[in-house]
Amino acid sequence: MSKNRKEVTLLKNDDFLSANKFTGGENKDLSAWLNKANKKELADLLGYYCREATGEEKAELAQLARELGAKHYGSKIFFRGLIEFSSYCRNDCFYCGLRRSNSKAKRYRLTPAEILECCQKGYEMGFRTFVLQSGEDAYYTDDRLCGLISKIKELFPDCAVTLSIGERSYDSYKSLFEAGADRYLLRHETANEYHYSQLHPPELSLKNRLKCLYNLKEIGFQVGAGFMVDSPDQTFETLAEDFIFLRELQPHMIGIGPFIPHHETRFANYYQPTSSRTLVLLSLLRIMLPKTLLPATTALGTVDPLGRQKGLQAGANVLMLNLTPLKHRSDYSLYDNKLCTGWGAAENLTELAQHLKSLGFTPDFSRGDYIDFQEGE
């Protein structure tokens, strides 16, 4: 037994988990511990579970995560219809296939009419949340976006609108919220300044990224943050900073997935990702923040054929399925080989729902709001 294994095992038994209660569902000590641990303690725990924990220990962690999530959401899995409406982006993030300097990227931009057509199609399938995602495309001004959002809410008043369109001003966010947008996804990517600088050009700052997230929350959005797992220069110490930031922000949604390199970026030859660390981190995030809405992401399904299923079994409770017109799905190429079929395609919703039932989950076709919003708090 390594020194690290011995130390963490003692911590498990004495400080936040007793072995005989690990899967009992009544012990809240691990959740409390994760919410007060310092950076070094978190880094040690993350390193242990990602590198040394046995399959049995990871399974116990996942079971505890599911039990804590079930206290708020039961066995429900919520669905989102994803519409990737523009592959244009003004930014030049080092890891992204849509970055502005990638001359080989296939650019497209859906019209408002095409977006509404996607919503109509999704509504008929059963979706009650539409996620509008794009690069930071200057064409889509506040006026254009507000008009689009208002129209979606007019045509589909029982649906939620989620935006994932990057960094904007406070006033812009407020206008989008007042037009009817309900949620906003903006991954912070990393809470460590140096790590952020290794993934983004100098004109983008972590300070502004975090400011945007706090602005969104102040305005009244249900807010999603998150990060890539196993990205270049990520360490267990930077992951610990992510956990500390997330418990401070208290986001309503957290999106994480494995870093997948794109062949037209500086990270083209970065090692091939796996699902293993993402699954561990999903469980730990669920345990730390039991109320959060936690997607089993497309990236997870891209690196592992059973990745999204494993993600749900690790504590996730949201699936985003692609409603983008088929001719453009492969053009929205954030990373290589992005999943567009199977568990990633909206067309498979009915079949997928049946499969989820066979796994013991309950497909839920409501808006799927954060639990406190559902209760009107």
pLDDT tens figures, 88-103: 999 999 988 889 988 8
- Of 41, 39, 40, the C-alpha closest to 30 is 41
Q: Give the tokens for residue 63.
A: 């079971």
* Residues 180 and 161: beta-carbon distance below 8 Å: yes
Give domain limits for the chain.
3-69, 76-374
Give the list of residues 6+ apart from residue 90 with CB closer than 8 angstroms, or none.
Answer: 100, 135, 136, 137, 138
Count of alpha carbons within 13 Å of 342, Cβ hemisphere only? 13
- What type of residue is 349? L
Kindly state the percentage of the chain with pLDDT values over 70: 88
How far apart CA 85 and CA 166 sit, in angstroms, is: 13
Q: pLDDT confidence of 377, banded at 50, 70, 90?
A: very low
Count CB-CB contacts under 10 A for residue 217.
17
Q: What is the mean pLDDT of residues 268-292?
A: 94
pLDDT at 340: 59
pLDDT at 238: 98
297 φ, ψ (degrees, to nearest 5): -80, 165
- Residue 62, pLDDT above cutoff 60: yes
How far apart CA 29 and CA 288 sit, in angstroms, is: 10
* Residues 278 and 229: beta-carbon distance below 8 Å: yes
pLDDT at 285: 98
Top-tier CATH class for 76-374: alpha beta
- Residue 345, pLDDT above cutoff 50: yes
- Residue 2, pLDDT above cutoff 70: no
- Residue 16, pLDDT above cutoff 60: no
Count CB-CB contacts under 10 A for residue 266.
11
Q: pLDDT confidence of 275, banded at 50, 70, 90?
A: very high
- Of 284, 195, 283, the C-alpha closest to 231 is 195
Q: What is the mean pLDDT of residues 222-230?
A: 97
pLDDT at 342: 61
Q: What is the mean pLDDT of residues 309-320?
A: 97
pLDDT tens figures, 25-40: 444 589 999 999 999 9
Give the list of residues 6+ apart from residue 150 with CB closer than 8 angstroms, or none.
Answer: 179, 180
